[in-house]
Amino acid sequence: MLIKDRDFQEILSAEELQNTVKRLADSVMNDYQEKNPYFLVMMNGAFVFASDFLRNIGHPVKVGFVKYTSYVGMHSSGKVTPVLPIPQDVEGRDVVLLEDMTDTGCTMHFFLEELKKFHPKSIAIVSLFCKPESLQYDLKIDYIGVKLPNQFVAGYGLDYDGEGRNLPTLYYTKNDE
């Protein structure tokens, strides 16, 4: 699959992704049976994952959106900038963050520091993908869908320089030599 100027290979099929997302949603909702979770979707990457995840929940829940950026092209810039602010009404709520990918963990680390200032009752992180080898922060990710090798991926919400988010399959590309 050619995305922009690079060749990508399939790593997870659409069916495998749907099964993983359903398993995550079932597991989270099983743990939150007695609670009223407030889901925060980390834009932009998590929008496809979140829309599938949230539709696996059979009853109404509160959903909000946040946006922090760190990536430029294929690399984490190490500098995290808030774009969409955290909604004030997370105060006292059981917040569940939906994230597409934890790579260095920089975005999540910075975001958690901000979120704590709004005094939620509890915070849990759901990360569809994680690259354990590139993690640079001491993060507790409560729910992980799939652990991936340290390679750049695109599709299912994740982009290569703005392209490929719409693809229902996940693709990887070989690292530059």
Footprint of ligand IMP on this chain (CB under 6 A)?
45, 70-71, 76, 99-108, 152-154, 158
Q: Is 138 a catalytic residue?
A: no
- Look-up of token digits 């946040």: 66
Of positions 17, 29, 45, 148, contacts Mg ion by CB under 5 A? 45
- Select from ligand IMP, Mg ion, none the partner in contact with residue 153, using the beta carbon and a kind-dependent cut-off of 5 to 8 Å: ligand IMP
- Select from Mg ion, ligand IMP, none the partner in contact with residue 48, using the beta carbon and a kind-dependent cut-off of 5 to 8 Å: none
Neighbours of 156 (CB within 10 A): 26
Nearest approach, Cβ of 65 to ligand IMP (angstroms)? 14
Give the distance from CA 101 to its chain's centroid: 4
Please identify, using beta-carbon distances, which residue of 29 and 48 lies nearer to Mg ion. Answer: 48
Please identify, using beta-carbon distances, which residue of 52 and 100 lies nearer to Mg ion. Answer: 100
Please identify, using beta-carbon distances, which residue of 4 and 35 lies nearer to ligand IMP. Answer: 4
Give the distance from CA 172 to its chain's centroid: 17
- Select from ligand IMP, Mg ion, none the partner in contact with residue 47, using the beta carbon and a kind-dependent cut-off of 5 to 8 Å: none
Nearest approach, Cβ of 137 to Mg ion (angstroms)? 15
Packing angle, helices 47-55 and 14-31, rounded to 10? 60
Calpha distance 129→155 (Å, rounded):
12
- Look-up of token digits 């799939």: 146
Count CA atoms within 13 Å of residue 90 on its CB side. 27
Please identify, using beta-carbon distances, which residue of 15 and 163 lies nearer to Mg ion. Answer: 163
Calpha distance 88→67 (Å, rounded):
15
Q: Report which residue type is found at 38.
A: Y
- Select from Mg ion, ligand IMP, none the partner in contact with residue 103, using the beta carbon and a kind-dependent cut-off of 5 to 8 Å: ligand IMP
3-state secondary structure of 168: coil
Nearest approach, Cβ of 24 to Mg ion (angstroms)? 16
Binding positions for Mg ion, rule: CB under 5 A: 45, 100
Active-site positions?
103
